[in-house]
Structure 1
Amino acid sequence: MAEIRIRNTGERIKGDENVSAFLNNQEVLYEHWDASKLAAGLQDKFVLTDEDKAEILSTYDAEIRDLAERRGYKTWDIVALSDATPNLDELLKKFEDVHTHTEDEVRAITAGRGIFVIKGTDDVGYFDVELEAGDVISVPENKPHFFTLMENRQIVAVRLFIEPAGWVANSYNDPTFQKA
């Protein structure tokens, strides 16, 4: 279950209804998929074969296709990150720059944990959305954000795209942003 931390105040928002309501007010889609559907052997596996990735996509095929139909996504893949990922620290530095995209950035977490840092409305400022297996989030196009790993440094997620080539990050220089 996702949790939110408002960076300016330290306030934490918990509980599915509260998280959903807050994110909806910030124009961020939040849903939850049944994480227990995934085979037990894949629930804590972060180095995946092509067969593992195909199994994850097959397991969540109905959910992926439903979301894709509702939101216009045309392609999807799996991203898996862990300490076994080559150049992980360099990748994380690249991820941790505030940016925007010309399409939604979507993650459906199937294993592990991660954080989206998102710029909210002026009265809210930046907030962290701490995600775990089963959480699905879509950050709207042109909304400043970035995604990174939590302290466990392990995640597997389905990514969905409108453009078959995927999205391009456009740097967003914001002097009000302060790293945690």
Structure 2
Amino acid sequence: MTKLVVCPEANPSLPSLVTTDPTVIAAHLAGIGVAFEQWITAGPLPDSADQNAVLAAYADGVARIRAKGFDTVDVARLAGDLDDPAFLAKAAEARAKFLSEHTHADDEIRFFVEGSGAFYLRVDGSVHMIVCEAGDYLFVPKNTRHWFDMGTRPRFAAIRFFAIPEGWVGEFTGDPIASSFASYDELVSAGS
């Protein structure tokens, strides 16, 4: 279930808002310049689905976003045997990369087509934690401080859109704030 938790930067354990209502989530995020929508998904992906298969399944939506100037598109996907130590090591390495606060000189667009993960947006003295699931579309404006947590046992696929040909280019802030906030696993286990 999609979930939004908002806490002050200075007090990560004192939420000012907790909601699973998509209308409330969209309205709140719009207030900080972030777009949130829920799209229809094409259904479960086979484990063998590669980037081309995922993009083909969502060709209409991809074309709509590309028409807005986001010409570079890829798929971030982690799906594997959660009992396989090699997969878990690969997942831990990928998770560590995105857990540090960073910004982009480009707007960031993600459409989750499978599984879930949490985006943390640091805006106006608060951290806005959004657990995104299949069907969730998130537009984050350039230069927004944020990080992403896929959890310790990830299974997700997200189509990523970029206006720059280089694709994902993170500028890490060096601020350790991410370690002060609930992890994806904690957000999900806390229920709604």
Which TM-score band applies after superposition, normalised by the shorter structure?
Answer: 0.7 to 0.9
Q: Which residue of 1 aligns with 2:2?
A: 2
Structure 2 unaligned spans of 5+: 9-13, 183-192
Please give the per-residue CA displacement for 1:79-134, whole angstroms capped at 9, x wherever unaligned: 11145366221221121000000002221101101000110223xx1121100000
Mapped contact 1:34–1:134 kept (Cα < 8 A) = yes
Q: Give the counterpart letter for 1:3 in structure 2.
A: K
> For this pair of structures, how many residues does the alignment match?
169
TM-superposed deviation, 1:30:
1.2
Structure 2 matches for 1:18-33, cutoff 5 A? 18-33=24-39
Please give the per-residue CA displacement for 1:58-82, whole angstroms capped at 9, x wherever unaligned: 1211111112223x20121111114
Mapped contact 2:117–2:149 kept (Cα < 8 A) = yes
Choose from 83, 104, 107 the match for 1:104: 107
Instruction: Name the CA distance, whole Å, in 2 between partners of 1:129 and 1:149.
Output: 12
Q: Which residue of 2 aligns with 1:120?
A: 123
Mapped contact 2:101–2:176 kept (Cα < 8 A) = no
Instruction: Name the CA distance, whole Å, in 2 between partners of 1:112 and 1:165.
Output: 26
Identical pairs, percent: 27
TM-score of the superposed pair, with normalisation by structure 1? 0.83
Structure 2 matches for 1:1-180, cutoff 5 A? 2-8=2-8, 9-10=14-15, 11-35=17-41, 37-38=42-43, 40=44, 42=45, 45=46, 47-50=47-50, 53-70=51-68, 72-82=69-79, 83=82, 84=87, 87-122=90-125, 125-150=126-151, 152-174=153-175, 178-180=180-182
Q: Give the counterpart letter for 1:108 in structure 2.
A: F
Structure 1 consecutive aligned stretches of length 4 or more whose deviation exceeds 4 Å:
none
Instruction: Name the CA distance, whole Å, in 2 between partners of 1:48 and 1:164.
Output: 27
Q: Match of 1:142, SS?
A: coil
Q: Match of 1:26, SS?
A: coil
Structure 1 unaligned spans of 5+: none
Q: CA RMSD in A?
A: 2.1
TM-score of the superposed pair, with normalisation by structure 2? 0.79
Mapped contact 1:102–1:167 kept (Cα < 8 A) = no
